[in-house]
Amino acid sequence: MLVAMTTELEQLLANLTAVNDKMAEYTNTPGASSHNAALMHTLQRHRDILQDYTHEFHKTKNNFFSWREREDLLGSVHRDIESYKSGSGVNNRRTELFLKEHEHLRNSDSLIDSAISIAMATKENITFQRGMLKSIQTRVTTLANRFPAINSLIQKINLRKRRDSLILGGVIGVCTILLLLYTFH
pLDDT in tens, the chain (185 residues): 677 888 888 898 899 899 888 888 887 777 655 667 777 888 888 889 889 989 998 898 888 888 888 877 777 766 666 666 655 455 667 788 888 888 888 888 888 888 899 999 999 999 999 999 899 888 878 877 777 777 788 888 889 999 999 999 999 999 999 999 988 87
**Spatial separation of the C-alpha atoms in residues 48 and 38, rounded to whole Å:** 15
Report yes or no: 86 and 93 within 8 Å, Cβ to Cβ. Answer: yes
HSE-CB for 92 with a 13 A CA cutoff: 8
Residue 167: its pLDDT value, please? Answer: 96
* Alpha helices (runs of H) in the chain, residue ranges in sequence order: 2-27, 36-86, 90-146, 148-184
Report yes or no: 16 and 126 within 8 Å, Cβ to Cβ. Answer: yes
Residue 85: its pLDDT value, please? Answer: 63
* Residues composing the chain: 185
Residue 141: its pLDDT value, please? Answer: 81
Residue 162: its pLDDT value, please? Answer: 95
Residue 173: its pLDDT value, please? Answer: 96
Residue 6: its pLDDT value, please? Answer: 84
Query: Which DSSP string corresponds to 7-52?
Result: HHHHHHHHHHHHHHHHHHHHHTSGGGGGGHHHHHHHHHHHHHHHHH
Residue 154: its pLDDT value, please? Answer: 80
Residue 87: its pLDDT value, please? Answer: 55
CA 143 to chain centre: 30
Residue 120: its pLDDT value, please? Answer: 92
**63-71 long-range Cβ contacts below 8 angstroms, 24+ apart:** 64/111, 64/114, 64/115, 68/111, 71/107
Residue 124: its pLDDT value, please? Answer: 93
